[in-house]
A and B are shown apart, each in its own frame.
Chain A
Amino acid sequence: MLNEKKNKLFLRIFIGLVFLVMATAQYLIFLWVPEEKTLGVVQKIFYFHVGAAWVAFFAFFIVFVFSILYLATQERRWDRVSAASAEIGTVFTTIVLVTGPIWAKSSWNTWWTWEPRLTTSLILWFIYLAYILIRISAGDVERKAKLAAVFGIIGFLDVPVVFYAVNWWSVSHPMLFGQGKMNLASDMLLTLQVTVAAFTLLYFYLLEKGIAVFRMQDEVNKIKDRLREITD
């Protein structure tokens, strides 16, 4: 009971922190950081485009790690982390794929080009969409979890390809990292760092909620199985 109270208090403090950092990020993006000289105000899309991409990559990394853990130990709790993280990663990849073309339209006058960064990002989105489809399809829970874990491990291989696509191939996509350092003015870098921190905190909040939902689903399935045994 005391632990439950402590957890609720911790969650409330954490939600407050998420709001605070997120509000700071919005302030920095819209009121503090200067507009980029050539692109103008539309360059501000960059902050949540990159922030979302970071969360997506991080979420898929968590899927990768916890999928390995699940396959090694067969413990359901690791699978729940992977399942929740994959959903969040897919949502944030969707944000990347939505904000990217909007930015592209304003800067390059085209919604989409089949250049490597964009194409590999789209492939990444399809991989984790398939991962979610495996999860929600009918069938044995354990079998689906194992298949999803294998998918989560293999799917993660696309993440470094997306990240390094601008270095490996000659592309029109802006290059954030060059020669081991960031190509960004200090005020823009600070704004980006705060936005990334805000999105990362939001990720952990959503992860906690997602894990709770999957845990509850497991409990429901367990009770149903037991009731079926009784009635059969």
Chain B
Amino acid sequence: MKYLFWAYTLTWALIFAYTLVLGSREKKLLREVNFLKQAVNDNDFNNFQEY
């Protein structure tokens, strides 16, 4: 039973971990897009390279 438990747990842990990675990448990119949009609106092109 412990083998089944570990196989099952690790399977879902990997799937959840990948979903979380995708989500965090999406959030980071959204922040970047918002920052770049703000820079374009403010005509402030000096700080965008920090990204």
Contact = CB atoms under 8 A, between A and B. Distances in A.
Contacts of A103: 3, 7
A120 interface: no
A198 to B, nearest CB: 11
A45 B9 CA distance: 11
Contact of A98 (B11, B19, B23, B39): B11
Contact of A213 (B8, B29, B49): B29
Interface in B4-29: 4, 6-8, 10-11, 14-15, 18-19, 22-23, 25-26, 29
Contacts of A219: 33
A208 to B, nearest CB: 10
Q: For chain A, which range describes its interface: under 10, 10 to 19, 20 to 34, or 35 or more residues?
A: 20 to 34
B7 to A, nearest CB: 4
B45 to A, nearest CB: 5
A150 to B, nearest CB: 25
B6 A102 contact: yes
A151 B37 CA distance: 36
Contacts of A105: 3
B14 A213 contact: no
A206 B18 contact: yes
A1 B25 CA distance: 25
Contact of B15 (A202, A209, A212, A223): A202
Given A99-B7, A216-B29, A220-B29, 17 more contacts: A41-B1, A45-B3, A45-B7, A45-B8, A49-B7, A91-B14, A91-B18, A94-B14, A99-B11, A102-B7, A106-B3, A209-B22, A213-B22, A216-B30, A223-B33, A224-B36, A227-B40
Interface of B: 1, 3-4, 6-8, 10-11, 14-15, 18-19, 22-23, 25-26, 29-30, 32-33, 36, 39-40, 45-46, 48-49, 51
Interface of A: 41-42, 44-45, 48-49, 52, 87-88, 91, 94-95, 98-99, 102-103, 105-106, 202, 206, 209-210, 212-213, 216-217, 219-220, 223-224, 227-228, 230-231
28 contacts: A42-B1, A42-B4, A44-B4, A45-B7, A48-B7, A49-B7, A87-B18, A88-B18, A91-B18, A95-B10, A95-B15, A98-B10, A102-B3, A102-B6, A102-B7, A102-B10, A103-B3, A106-B3, A206-B18, A206-B19, A206-B22, A209-B23, A213-B22, A216-B26, A223-B36, A224-B36, A230-B45, A231-B45
